[in-house]
Structure 1
Amino acid sequence: MTLPFPEPGSLWPAILRQSRRALDCGALRPIDTVQATIDDAGMTFLVRQVSSVARKDEDRARRESAPPGTVRVNPFLPCDDDLVVADIGDSHILLLNKFNVIDQHLLVVTRRFEPQSALIDLADFTALFACLDQFDGLGFYNGGPEAGASQPHKHLQIVPLPLGRPGPALPVEPLVAAARLRDGTGVVPGLPFAHAFGRFDVSRGMNAPATAHSAWACYRALLDAAGVPPVDVDGKAHQSAPYNLLVARDWMLLVPRSVATVDGIAVNALGYAGSLFVRDEAQMRTAERLGPMKVLARAGR
């Protein structure tokens, strides 16, 4: 059973209510972590060390051990009703992330199957900003397995801000402030990996159709600027290479990717926001030895 999209100002209370219900019935299965910080290259990185991954590992092992020829289960078709927060128009559903590391981690999922390798389109941005209009959050996208995508069904993600303490709400913000732009797109001097940065117009409000159009145009420009131009697959635009995308309230950062892990540390889009996850003490030591920014650079292109 899905619910209508909440009225203005009511989405965040709806997320909190559904989170409590999902926890009570066992549908939501948080992964416990301990947070540390590492100062590196002008950023205070948040590094969460997983203290319990047994439940997620069990679920992954069950899926991966299925007999040859078994069709992989799509957790979004059908989705678990206990994780559904609301409908977002006719095209998307807002879900709680079942195995969340950050509280109130949300998924903006297409109602019908679309591949994660398809480009983010206007409807996706419209759905994303309908949510970001109601609370302060960071949208992000993992474009392909090499970029940290674990599901082939198209979905954007949102985490509430701040990402943690101490420091700014978003660790990368101090570097983003120094971005060099020309005609709305450019680079962030402090980021030592291939990327493209852009700002988009939010003067009419986050939930205005004009904002989604502006964001979509910015995204397409960043794909070209970062060397990830779209390709045609059966008449639909797809990505030509893996990438991560961060979508803040008025800017985007797009990072082409080369590998999913660096010395065992998995990197997804949140890494480029300044938030890394490590599975154990050994990976924490690796992050400290290399420095988080070097981890990101080696995962990029």
Structure 2
Amino acid sequence: MTTPAVFAGLGPKLKAQYTAALKAGSLLFTESDVVELDDEDIGIPFEVRYAPALAKKPTKADGKGTNDDDARPADKPADPFAPPYQQDLFVAEETVKEDDDDSGESFAILLNKFCVTPRHFLLVTKEFRKQTTPLSPLEVFTAWSVLKQLGAREKHLAFFNCGDESGASQPHKHLQFIPISNGMAPFDSFIDAHKPAKPQTPFQLPLPYANFTALIDPPSSASRPDLVSYLGQRFVELLDLMIDHRRRLSLSDPAALGLDADASEQPTRGIRLSDMSYNVVLTQRYLHLVPRRREKYLTARSSLPVSINSLGFAGMVLVKDERALDEVKEVGVLEVLKQVGLPPLDIVDAHLGEDGNELA
């Protein structure tokens, strides 16, 4: 018996609803210019998107409260992802089950109200779950299934901002999706070039900040329960590596975690998963996780904040000020990402394989 597709027919629904919401004025699309900043040393074709109109959008620092997707009054916090949904932004909802005996988890797909990329949409949990909780196996499976279905016509990328320093500002759990116009994200070729000989082994890319990647290549004959288990395990492997790396840093370089180096400090402080900030990028072919030390990069001359979320670690950065754009061009995107990430694993770390990037 063939398992029904998750969110079947989603592509045409997204396009139709986006067109209708844009026409009705329920969705605000902001024009932007994309500046390509190829890194000559590592070859990643970074994209910096300049959108000055977004500088007028309220932020958390304004006390008005906002997030990637909506704004809300400070005196009455609202959850824009809770039913009843704004109908012009609502695309679909579905309860996804691991098997027939599973009660499943309910999700809704909503258009992002404020977008710089057409058809930017969200997968949100129908019941409130905290954005600081890690993705469940069923959530990873649902996101991957959406990517796989949409990829038949247009490649997409999914991302998850988790924690106070990750670029997330909406507490209701959600993943975000954007279409990739040329079919490839900036990091795709770099990951292909550095993937390990054993595809089941997680690995660290040779970058100046900590990062963990797991390739996705499930058996073609895998059942839905097998797929849920497989994808969940791939994600847990990356979480385990991040936790272990933070534990090592707490002993060798506590300042990198914002910890006091005084002997009275406990080495395990700040190791609880719910306290950690990290970004996750998901494509059909890989999971990429980056632990964070801070949300914003401050430009050297102008002290302008550049907020970095998961898209930065997919090779795409958004700036709202021309001076910030000029300074990011000067230092390079890689330096920006280094400053908001954690120090990488040492190449002689016991977790590294003989080639220096495989993780046991």
Q: 1:207 to 1:125 in 2, by over 3 A?
A: farther
Verify: 1:104 aligned to 2:119, yes or no.
Answer: yes
Question: Where does residue 180 of structure 2 map in the other structure?
Answer: 161
Q: 1:191 to 1:112 in 2, by over 3 A?
A: same
User: Any residues of structure 2 matched to 1:220-239 within 5 Å, and which?
Assistant: 220-227=236-243, 238-239=273-274
User: Any residues of structure 2 matched to 1:138-149 within 5 Å, and which?
Assistant: 138-149=157-168
CA RMSD of aligned residues (A): 2.8
Note if contact 2:158-2:178 (Cα within 8 Å) is conserved in structure 1: yes
* One-letter code aligned to 1:74: D
* One-letter code aligned to 1:204: S
Note if contact 1:6-1:86 (Cα within 8 Å) is conserved in structure 2: no
Q: 1:26 to 1:18 in 2, by over 3 A?
A: same
User: Any residues of structure 2 matched to 1:238-277 within 5 Å, and which?
Assistant: 238-263=273-298, 264-277=305-318
User: Any residues of structure 2 matched to 1:48-87 within 5 Å, and which?
Assistant: 48-53=49-54, 56-57=57-58, 61=62, 63-64=64-65, 70-78=75-83, 79-87=85-93
User: Any residues of structure 2 matched to 1:137-216 within 5 Å, and which?
Assistant: 137-162=156-181, 169-177=184-192, 178-180=194-196, 184-204=200-220, 208-216=224-232
Alignment partners' CA distance in 2, 1:228 and 1:111: 32
Alignment partners' CA distance in 2, 1:240 and 1:180: 31
Task: Give the % identical residues.
Answer: 29
Moved more, 139-148 or 185-194: 185-194
Please list the CA deviations of residues 1-60 of structure 1 after superposition, one character each: whole Å capped at 9, or x if unmatched.
Answer: xxxx9874x211110000011111111111221111001131111111003126633898
Question: Where does residue 45 of structure 1 map in the other structure?
Answer: 46
Report the CA distance between 1:61 and its aligned residue: 4.9
Report the CA distance between 1:180 and its aligned residue: 3.2
Q: 1:60 to 1:21 in 2, by over 3 A?
A: farther
Please list the CA deviations of residues 84-128 of structure 1 after superposition, one character each: whole Å capped at 9, or x if unmatched.
Answer: 110132511011111011111111000011100111002212321
Note if contact 1:129-1:207 (Cα within 8 Å) is conserved in structure 2: no
Question: Where does residue 292 of structure 1 map in the other structure?
Answer: 333
Note if contact 1:63-1:72 (Cα within 8 Å) is conserved in structure 2: no
Q: Which has the higher strand share?
A: 1
Note if contact 2:277-2:291 (Cα within 8 Å) is conserved in structure 1: yes
Q: Secondary structure at the match of 1:38?
A: strand
Unaligned runs of 5+ in 2: 67-71, 96-104, 247-271, 299-304, 343-360
Moved more, 16-25 or 199-208: 199-208
Note if contact 1:206-1:249 (Cα within 8 Å) is conserved in structure 2: no
Alignment partners' CA distance in 1, 2:201 and 2:323: 39
Alignment partners' CA distance in 1, 2:185 and 2:200: 21
Question: Where does residue 234 of structure 1 map in the other structure?
Answer: none
Report the CA distance between 1:251 and its aligned residue: 1.0
Report the CA distance between 1:169 and its aligned residue: 1.4
User: When the two structures are aligned, how many residues end up with a matched partner?
Assistant: 285
Note if contact 2:6-2:145 (Cα within 8 Å) is conserved in structure 1: no
Q: 1:127 aligns with which of 139, 142, 145?
A: 142
Alignment partners' CA distance in 2, 1:151 and 1:161: 24
Alignment partners' CA distance in 1, 2:241 and 2:60: 38
Alignment partners' CA distance in 1, 2:164 and 2:59: 20
TM-score using structure 2 length: 0.72
Q: 2:321 aligns with which of 270, 274, 280?
A: 280
Alignment partners' CA distance in 2, 1:205 and 1:105: 31
Note if contact 1:56-1:99 (Cα within 8 Å) is conserved in structure 2: no
Q: Secondary structure at the match of 1:255?
A: strand
Q: 1:11 to 1:123 in 2, by over 3 A?
A: same
Alignment partners' CA distance in 2, 1:181 and 1:225: 19
